[in-house]
Amino acid sequence: MFDYSMAEIGNIVVMQAFSGLSLFSVLLLMALGLAIIFGQMGVINMAHGEFMAIGAYTTVFLSKVAETYGIVNYYFLFAIVAAFIIAFIIGYLVEFALIRHLYKRPLDTLLATWGLSLVMQQIFRSTFGAKEVSAVLPEWLMGSFQLHRISISRSTASSCWCWPLWSRWVCSSLCSAHAGVCVCVPRCKTA
């Protein structure tokens, strides 16, 4: 069981580090989203993960469409943009119909968004089934490459490569958050 050489242990450590960085970037985006929403609007959004799932299921849906039409190598970047747009539209509709009536009432928003979370989870189960689904990856994200005798998957490396871009975008969004709240959400306290 413990017959690994030092090189193999080094490979395992580096692969786990890349996987951890990839997972960290997703969790960081979710945590920053929760913090920004609560800090700017006073809303505790218990359905935050479900809005992330809307983007993920949008990507899965578009991958199935791309697989049907044989354009798997080209859909992925379009699917990422479409996932943001679809999640934004649904989030805006939820804010307009439900959340705007509950600003600065954290307990009420907690209960309302928790109920919304349960409804969205059931819609996902009814639409996509209870089994785990995943998008078909394009060929340029398949496989791995060697870095000093260490095998790193292309999909993990691409998510780690995008992490600095995401963090720069989040920082610039935080700097302009006050202006965005003044324009988009004039009903909430921005000072």
Count of the separate structural domains present in the chain: 1
Residue 15 lies in a domain: yes
CA distances from 23 to 51, 86, 160, 163 (A): 17, 23, 9, 11
Residue 31 lies in a domain: yes
Whether the per-residue pLDDT at 33 is higher than 90: the answer is no
Residue 83 lies in a domain: yes
Indicate the range of 26-35, 97-106, 161-170 predicted with least confidence.
161-170
Residue 85 lies in a domain: yes
Residue 159 lies in a domain: yes
Percent of the chain's residues with pLDDT above 90: 20
Stretch 12-38: mean pLDDT: 82
Q: How confident is the model at residue 183 (pLDDT cuts 50, 70, 90)?
A: very low
Residue 48 lies in a domain: yes
Indicate the range of 61-70, 138-147, 166-175, 177-186 predicted with least confidence.
177-186
Residue 189 lies in a domain: no
Range of the domain at 55: 6-184
Percent of the chain's residues with pLDDT above 70: 72
Whether the per-residue pLDDT at 89 is higher than 90: the answer is yes
Q: How confident is the model at residue 112 (pLDDT cuts 50, 70, 90)?
A: very high
CA angle, 162 as apex, 161 and 164 as ends, to 5°? 90
Indicate the range of 13-17, 32-36, 158-162 predicted with least confidence.
158-162
Task: Give phi and psi for 146, each to the nearest 5.
Answer: -95, 130
CA angle, 15 as apex, 25 and 11 as ends, to 5°? 155
Helices 6-41 and 177-184, packing angle to 10 deg? 40
Residue 164 lies in a domain: yes
CA distances from 22 to 9, 35, 59 (A): 20, 20, 18
For 103, residues 6+ apart whose C-beta sits below 8 A from its C-beta are 41, 42, 43, 109, 187, 188
**pTM tops 0.85, yes or no:** no
Whether the per-residue pLDDT at 51 is higher than 60: the answer is yes
